[in-house]
Amino acid sequence: MVPLQILVIAFSLTLAPGYGAGAAVPRSVNTVETVAEWLQLEYGFATDQDRENAEAAGNLVPANGTPIDVQPQYFSNGTMRLFTTIPRFVSGVPYTLATVSATNGTNGPLLQPYPSYDWHNDNGDDCDRITSVYRVSITECNQMWVMDTGAIGTTKYCTPQLLQFDLNTDTLLHRYRFPNNTYTPDASLFITPSVLVQDPAPEGSCNSTMVYVADVTFHGLVVYDHEAQTSWRVENRFMYPNPDYGKHTIANETFYLMDGMFALTNDKSNLYFHPMATASEFAVPLSELNNQTNWANNPEALPEQFTELGSRGSECAASAIDGKNNIYCVTFNPIQLIMWNVNSTYDSENLVVLPAEADELQFVSGMKVVENAEGQEELWLISNRFQKIAEGTLDFSEVNFRILRRNLDDVQ
């Protein structure tokens, strides 16, 4: 397949169709700035006892930790709290959900366990705690949904669960354990939650919430209806990895990974999604996904409702959507931050490349759009050198992990 020639924006922002010809050209193009960086993760603990417990459990091997997701929480006074996740795809990870503190360690800022160290399931023996988290999602209700896989490495210790935390009090509001008809214990891995709050505060109760979950290794989607306390499985051929894109090259290094269903975003009307091993983007209407009757007898129902939108010519991992329905993603080869508006066709005309340093982006495994205290939207990214992690060639004398931020006012 011939890679698409993607439109590059330089200093005078070239506006893609969909932004309207003749729209005011922004004064300047924003840059991507580094907020935090690590040579290797630095684990902090509230007490020496917590650190000793982590060591005793064999869970303090800093070289094993890879940060995968980022999620900022802005307070009304303009300060913020930054969350990250460290999934336990290997052992040696003392906690899997963390905040990034303001204290610097030797290799980068110190992490702190969230909500506390004793919430973390040391070796898979307490399923009421958190076992392993790839990604989280904070809603407009100031609640954080945490997708816990229940697995350490390839061993499934616990039922996958969604945890809903109140970020005002840092307490658990709700726990949902997925029923066994929504996954296959030996094969499924729930990695990404995309949340839709249909009754946001202050008017609404935030109870009418849907969470769409990607099953990366058993190639499906699970829809969780919070109000009805039920969930169902949806499968479609577009959720499978494409073997033509199972070999990945990032910054001249190659690895193989047949990851299926990976990134999910929604604009309140459609779910946009892609497996990792593909160059295409896909969509399905939420109205169909949200109707449990459609899928009750057959998770592979309604194949005609799923659309292949188009190709970007390269794989990308995480995605995020802003309030103007622009979806962002970082392609592997070449490494580029791209933006596409859902109202336009998914083609080279409408895929806009935003300036960014390829060396800083590398593999972007987590991405969010958040509103800051001034009401402006920002794109947040977390990058790691996954191509080196996959090949075991990580070099801890260089910066391996970065949290990056970009204001979006110029492109909106």
Residues that bind ligand NAG (CB under 6 A): 18, 75, 77, 79, 102, 104, 180, 205, 207, 251-252, 291, 293-294, 324-325, 341, 343
283 contact partners, CB below 8 Å, separation of at least 6: 270, 271, 272, 273, 306, 307, 309
- For residue 160, the minimal CB distance to ligand NAG (Å) is 14
Q: Nearer Cβ to ligand NAG, position 59 or 84?
A: 84
- For residue 55, the minimal CB distance to ligand NAG (Å) is 26
Q: Nearer Cβ to ligand NAG, position 3 or 92?
A: 3
Q: Provide the 3-class DSSP secondary structure of residue 407.
A: strand
55 contact partners, CB below 8 Å, separation of at least 6: none
String of DSSP letters for 273-311 = EEESS-SEEEEEEHHHHT-HHHHSS-TT--GGG-EEEEE
- For residue 359, the minimal CB distance to ligand NAG (Å) is 7
- For residue 78, the minimal CB distance to ligand NAG (Å) is 8
Q: Nearer Cβ to ligand NAG, position 15 or 251?
A: 251
Cis, peptide link before residue 334, omega less than 30° from 0: yes
Distance between CA 130 and CA 186 in Å, rounded?
A: 19
Q: How buried is residue 236: exposed, middle or buried, by Cβ count under 10 Å (0-12/13-18/19+)?
A: buried
In sequence order, the β-bridge partners of residue 320 are: 328
Q: CB of 87 within 8 A of CB of 98? A: no
Q: Provide the 3-class DSSP secondary structure of residue 250.
A: strand
- For residue 122, the minimal CB distance to ligand NAG (Å) is 26
- For residue 59, the minimal CB distance to ligand NAG (Å) is 26
Q: Nearer Cβ to ligand NAG, position 99 or 311?
A: 99
Q: Nearer Cβ to ligand NAG, position 75 or 396?
A: 75
**Amino acid (1-letter code) at residue 313:** G
Measured in whole angstroms, the distance separating CA 69 from the mean position of its chain's CA atoms is: 6
Distance between CA 394 and CA 83 in Å, rounded?
A: 23
Q: Nearer Cβ to ligand NAG, position 49 or 343?
A: 343
- For residue 116, the minimal CB distance to ligand NAG (Å) is 16
Q: Nearer Cβ to ligand NAG, position 37 or 118?
A: 37
